[in-house]
């Protein structure tokens, strides 16, 4: 059986493996977030469930809000270098919020409801 969305499957598999590697190699729970997001993306790649896409989008928006809050807390300790900007949770929080909004819009798209 082939996944319906190959890009979502590849991205989900990458995040799943990366999260698993962080949990095993570093014995850290920091890898649970990419592990959960990757598992959700792999699940979403097999089917076109509108409800699952909407729940995923809302969960990513909530996670993005937590990342933005954490990033604002770390802002006084950041330096204006590219590595600091891309490596801090503030940047990834905004990316997560916009990705969650995109997933919510995609949940109402005709491609998910098979009306194309």
Same domain, 19 and 61: no
- Calculate the alpha carbon distances from 98 to 13, 27, 48, 60, 113 in Å: 21, 30, 21, 9, 22
Residue 113: phi, psi to the nearest 5? -85, 5
Give the residue from 47, 70, 85 where a domain finishes.
Answer: 47
Sign of CA dihedral 48, 51, 55, 58: positive
Q: What are the tens digits of pLDDT across the range 56-98?
A: 999 999 999 998 998 899 888 888 888 777 778 888 889 889 9
- Burial of residue 49 (CB within 10 Å: 0-12, 13-18, 19+) is middle
Tell me the C-alpha distance between 70 and 73, whole Å: 5
Structural domain containing residue 67: 48-116
pLDDT confidence of residue 32: 80
Same domain, 60 and 116: yes
Look at residue 115 and tell me whether its pLDDT is greater than 60: no
Same domain, 100 and 58: yes
pLDDT confidence of residue 116: 53
- The domain total for the chain is 2
Same domain, 41 and 13: yes
Report pTM: 0.76
């Amino acid at each position: 059986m082939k996944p319906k969305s190959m890009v979502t499957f590849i991205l989900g598999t990458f995040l799943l493996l990366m999260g698993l590697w962080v949990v095993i190699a570093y014995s850290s729970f920091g890898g649970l977030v990419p592990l959960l997001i990757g598992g959700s993306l792999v699940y979403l790649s097999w089917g076109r469930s509108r409800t699952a896409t909407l729940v995923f989008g809302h969960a990513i928006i909530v996670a993005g809000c937590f990342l933005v809050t954490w990033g604002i807390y770390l802002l006084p300790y950041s330096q204006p270098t590219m590595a600091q900007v891309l490596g801090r949770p503030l940047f990834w929080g905004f990316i997560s919020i916009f990705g969650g909004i995109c997933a919510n819009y995609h949940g109402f798209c005709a491609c998910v409801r098979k009306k194309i």
